[in-house]
Chain A
Amino acid sequence: MSTIDRDIELDAFDASRPGHVCWVVGDGGSYASTATAMLRRGASSGGKPVAFGPASGRALELLAAEAAVTADPARDFLGGGPLEPDAMFRMFRAQTELARTEGHERLCLVADMDWLLPLEPSAEDIVAFELALDRVVAELDATVVCAYRTETFAPDDLVDVCAVHPEQLGGHEPGPFRFVADGSGWRLSGEVDNAVADVFRTALRTAAADDSCTIDVRELDFIDCAGLRQIATVGRDRSRPIVLDGASAHLRRLWELTGFAATAPGVELRAD
């Protein structure tokens, strides 16, 4: 990556407010120097700078001067065990409380997501993890940058991962859709078609794990039959329905025409 690209990524990064950012680090990108600058910005706007990364790499060492805390989550929080979002989030909450008692406004975390690699997660695992994290980041008012390297993550997986972050830095053009936490519910925007049906289903399953699941679909520009089928499948067996809030007349018509209105009573389309 050239210096110019790096500066553009930095310029687009606003460390002074909470957010959950997917940073796609290109081949040969100098992760450490950009991450250092991000942490510095976070610290100067009231955040407690924290760096995550794989203990095996050198990047974490390089960030030690700038970060108040450095950790390898796989080793330090999960004991090398499987990817357990709940265990991660307990730690995250504790770190936030500690930071506040120390006088910081929030956590400002930059995570080299290569730390996931020893756990060998599937793309689905990562999507589910990030989506759950999105909720926690919003709840804790944190600033979290998840850095995914194009050297270690496949292009299709990166598109999937970007889809479950509200913001994106670097990498290619944004993927066709986004599914992110929104207050107590979720927000779906963009275009869902057969090409992204798998990651969309994973996101839906994660969202549907909550007892109550409301998805704002006002910014959904397009959904095809395969996308509708994922909603019907995930919603089919629920006792409390998945609510698609702000469903357009077009969407409600498609839901009838496909027959899902009759076969998937666990989904409720709510018009404005």
Chain B
Amino acid sequence: MDVERSDHPVTHHLVHFYESDAEMVSSVSRYLAAGLDRGEPALVFATASHREMFEVAIAALRGSDDAASSIAYVDAEEALEQLFVDGRIVPERFESVVASRVRDAVGRGGVARAYGELVELLWTQGRVAAAVELEEQWDRLGAELPFKLFCAYSMPSLQQAEDLDAFNTVCHLHTGVVAPGDDDIDAGPAPCAVRAFPASRTAPRAARRFVADAAATWGVSVDGDAALIVSELATNAVVHARSPFTVTMTAEGGVVRLAVRDESADLRAGSESDLLAESGRGLGLVAALATRWGVRRLDGAKEVWAEVAS
């Protein structure tokens, strides 16, 4: 899929929602290592502990530790303190803390590649409006300078309606969502769409519409099976887990993958056989229609996924 927007001639502004640090480190390191292989300058805003993990992982990927000198690291927590006064971004400080560094990196040669944890830090501190404001600043910079930006967010806990709105806003502010397990971001990320839904009785219908719209946008044909699968999984989240939920849809290699993640920490619903017993024919039908399906236990949450041919 071409994720470049017409008003973003060069920038890729990708977001990856991760479940574990290991998943995040692996995906960010691959992104940075691929840039180093091509001689692209790299700029990383990360916490000290993540920086260490990236250095180890990138050295392992490239078989050398010359990376340390090729990547400009900025401590994310310090940068945040400099950026904000009374909870608002100061434009001049965005210029000195972020923009000037991106400009330097771009000046070192061609397209730069940035990775930032600033926004995610704000997000996890509950400073959602500030996070959205910072993403918008990055977006404006992207219209001006040729660089790729990668953001990683820990998959949020969605208990409030405001959280759902903020989450969906974050998705919209990026030019693309990196699919879980996508290991070749540079080839152009696989089509992936994520949306959060409330625990309401009309949400399954909205989830069906979301899947149909995403399929239409990507030019992927899905038959009634995909609608039925997402509907049954969404209904289970609403009726059994009584939980807001996210739907992640990806399409690659003739396979459409639908994953519904709810906030149920109920471990009785943690195995496939229990889920089948609990929700009766709904999940049985998913199992019958899907070419593959399964359940992932997550921290305080679970994800039921299913694949169909497109």
Contact = CB atoms under 8 A, between A and B. Distances in A.
A83 interface: no
A176 B204 CA distance: 12
A254 B235 contact: no
B201 interface: yes
A243 to B, nearest CB: 21
A194 interface: yes
A176 B224 contact: no
A195 B282 contact: no
A29 B223 CA distance: 43
B231 A193 contact: yes
B174 to A, nearest CB: 30
A258 B204 contact: no
A188 B227 CA distance: 19
- The interface centre, meaning the residue of A224, A254, A257 with most chain B CB atoms within 10 A of its CB, is A224
B205 A225 contact: no
Nearest to B283: A225
B281 A195 contact: no
B224 A225 contact: no
Given A226-B282, A250-B223, A195 B208 contact: no
B202 interface: yes
A139 to B, nearest CB: 33
A254 B232 CA distance: 13
Contacts, number: 47
Given A222-B227, A250-B223, A193 B285 contact: no
Contacts of A176: 205
Contacts of B202: 195
A257 B287 CA distance: 10
Interface residues of B, number: 21
Contact of A224 (B223, B228, B280, B284): B228
B208 A259 contact: no
Interface residues of A, number: 15
A218 interface: no
Contacts of B204: 193-195, 224
A214 B201 CA distance: 29
B282 A222 contact: no
A176 B285 CA distance: 22
A225 B232 contact: yes
Contacts of A191: 205, 208
Given A222-B208, A225-B228, A229-B281, 19 more contacts: A191-B205, A191-B208, A193-B204, A193-B205, A193-B231, A194-B201, A194-B204, A194-B239, A195-B202, A195-B204, A222-B227, A224-B204, A224-B228, A225-B280, A225-B281, A225-B282, A226-B235, A250-B223, A250-B225
Interface of B: 201-202, 204-205, 208, 223-225, 227-228, 231-232, 235, 239, 280-282, 284-285, 288-289
8 contacts: A176-B205, A193-B235, A222-B228, A224-B235, A226-B282, A229-B281, A250-B224, A257-B289
Interface of A: 176, 191, 193-195, 222, 224-226, 229, 250, 254, 257-259
